[in-house]
Amino acid sequence: MFPVPLPVSAVLEQVKKSGFFVSSPDLTEEEQSISRNFEEETEIYPVEAEDVDPIEVDEPFGSNPSSGRITFFAFLDGIQRTMMLPYRVLLPNGVAVPIHIAQIAAGVMFRDPETGKLHVDPKLVASRLLLLGPFKGIKEAGGLKDIDFPEEIMDTSDRTFDVPRERNEWIVCDTTFCGTEKDREKRREDAIVGERLLNEGMIRSRARSRVAVLRQRLELAVLAEFRARYPEEGILVDGPLFFIDKWRAKATRVLGPKLKEDQESRFEEKLLANVVGLIKTHRLRPKNPEKVLQLNFKQRSPALRLMREVDIKVVGENFEERGSYAGAHLTWYTRLRSASHPPRGLTGLVRIDIHRATLGIGNADFLNPRNFSEYKPIIDGITRAVWAERWPAFSHLDPLRAAAQIYPIEQLEKTLKSMVYPKRFLQHLLLSTWKIS
């Protein structure tokens, strides 16, 4: 028997009774990918060098031997699986609206310092089930009239910033409006209402983007649990350190007690210090791409100060969440694998993202090429630590994606995928028997 909360099961029952069956592909929305566009206008400032020439990273301990070698104690990743249900909501005007169901999961993988073996702590693995649809738009058009969702299970609830109370906790996502703020209904210019309910592409892309946003929050919640247990340890995260300013108040209120910190800036510093983000899908357009694309192995680009989130959770131009950072980030490019000769393109190219707290500074505004030399050993050490996590064996016949892959994160991703429900189970949930809880 599959447990489903009463409001969710009521929607599924109505969709099943009043909607109609439509055969859907077995591919997840993530597998039906759309290439992302570059973020063109970005607040990014040089802090290490005025030029953009590659920097060699070849000393074993950087220019400061006392800084020691940086290693990663743990690795964090999240996954999402988003399927269209095979039933659609049929409106009085004949429009058939797709509904999505998704599962998100996040977890931490540890490396045993003595044996080097990787393992997962079940207490640092979390998952949610999501029901997604433009429910407000559907109701305004005369469908699902009797359905009302309690605030506590909605995506506007503060609980989306916390770890789930139970495995596979349900959250309902109303994708009629962009964002997850409680006042989102005031912004109706992008609302999926009226004739826009015919725009299946918009409905699908917004559902997928909302799943990505909630998955990122789940990763932050798991990171807070990790940081509460291991206040100083370094951890490598798959993806950017996605923590925009408008999230800080809620995240501090919900997660702050875990870190015993109720001040927003201090909470952010405690959460993100010694956390390194690794970005493999490039949305930040390099200011001098011809220099970055020529990076060879054992090289990196100069560090830049980044003030705005650029890895927006978006498909096409359907912006879901965007905003500025409160605490500045430092970012730079390097290459995990390289072709023997240029041109090398994007093969093996990654971007590294750290919070200013990792450098032990409270304000990044004073950083400039004249005073950055004392931080260079940390940047070089992090770069070498990332290189050390490459796949131990790689053939140039392997897929291009593998050239930028980190071995422990790849193993964690496989572990998380083995813990979530199969695609067909999610897709055919309406055909299952569930227990109303």
pLDDT averaged over 10-residue windows placed end to end, the chain, 437 residues: 71 74 74 63 80 79 50 95 88 91 96 92 95 93 84 92 92 92 84 93 91 95 97 94 90 96 95 95 78 86 89 60 85 83 74 94 87 92 94 67 87 94 80 49
User: What whole-number distance in Å separates Cα of residue 319 and Cα of residue 231?
Assistant: 34
pLDDT score for 66: 42
Residues 152 and 67 reside in one and the same domain:
no
- In a domain, residue 159? The reply is yes
Q: Using CA atoms, how far apart are residues 1 and 356, in angstroms rounded to an integer?
A: 48
pLDDT score for 65: 42
Residue 33: the pLDDT is 59
The 10 Å CB-count burial string (b at 16+, else e) for 322-333 is: beebebbbbbbb
Residue 223 within any structural domain of the chain: yes
User: Which long-range contacts link 406-411 to residues 24+ away (Cβ below 8 Å)?
Assistant: 406/75, 406/236, 406/238, 406/278, 406/336, 408/72, 408/75, 408/109, 408/111, 408/118, 408/236, 409/75, 409/77, 409/109, 409/236, 409/238, 409/278, 411/109, 411/118
User: Whole-angstrom Cα distance, residue 393 to residue 113?
Assistant: 22
Q: Are residues 224 and 241 in the same domain?
A: no
Specify whether 218 is located in the same domain as 322.
no
Together in a domain, 275 and 206 = no
* 413 occurs within a structural domain: no
Question: Same domain for 216 and 312?
Answer: no
The answer to whether 83 and 100 have CB atoms below 8 angstroms apart is: yes
Listed in sequence order, the residues at least 6 apart from 177 whose beta carbon sits closer than 8 Å to its beta carbon are 136, 184, 185, 187, 188, 190, 191, 192
Residues 26 and 173 in one domain: yes
The answer for 25, left when phi > 0, alpha when psi is -120 to 50, beta otherwise, is beta
CA distance 281 to 240: 10
The predicted pLDDT at position 148 comes to 80
Question: Is there a single domain that holds both residue 68 and residue 117?
Answer: no
* Alpha-carbon gap, residue 204 to 213, rounded angstroms: 15
Where do we find the tokens 């699902």?
144
- Does residue 276 contact residue 352 with C-beta atoms inside 8 Å? yes
Q: How many CB atoms lie within 10 A of CB 297?
A: 15
Comparing CA positions, the residue from 133, 126, 49 lying closest to residue 379 is: 49
Same domain, residue pair 189 and 332: no
Q: Are residue 198 and residue 331 in the same domain, yes or no?
A: no
Q: Is 335 exposed, middle or buried (0-12, 13-18, 19+ CB in 10 A)?
A: buried
Shared-domain flag, residues 286 and 425: no
Specify if 394 maps to a domain: yes
Query: Which two tokens mark 4?
Result: 């489903």
- Number of structural domains the chain divides into: 2
Q: How would you label 194-226 residue by residue, b for 16+ Cβ within 10 Å and e otherwise?
A: eeebeeeebbbbbbbbbbbbbbbbbbbbbbbbb
Q: For residue 149, what pLDDT is reported?
A: 83
Report which of 412, 414, 423, 437 is spatially closest to residue 102, judged by C-alpha positions.
423
Q: Which domain holds residue 279?
A: 36-72+234-405
Whole-angstrom distance, CA of residue 4 vs CA of residue 186 = 31
Predicted local distance difference test score (pLDDT) of residue 64: 46
Q: Are residues 249 and 376 in the same domain?
A: yes
Residue at 20 is within a domain: yes
Token readout for 138 is 């559907």
Is residue 186 situated within a structural domain? yes
- The residues, any chain, with a CB within 8 Å of residue 161's CB and separated by 6 or more, are 217, 220, 221, 247, 250, 251, 254, 255
Q: Are residues 121 and 249 in the same domain?
A: no
Do residues 434 and 2 touch, judged by C-beta distance below 8 A? yes
The confidence score (pLDDT) of residue 318 equals 58
Q: Is residue 382 part of a domain?
A: yes
Residue 195 lies in a domain: yes
Q: What is the pLDDT of residue 158?
A: 93
* Residue 294: predicted pLDDT: 84
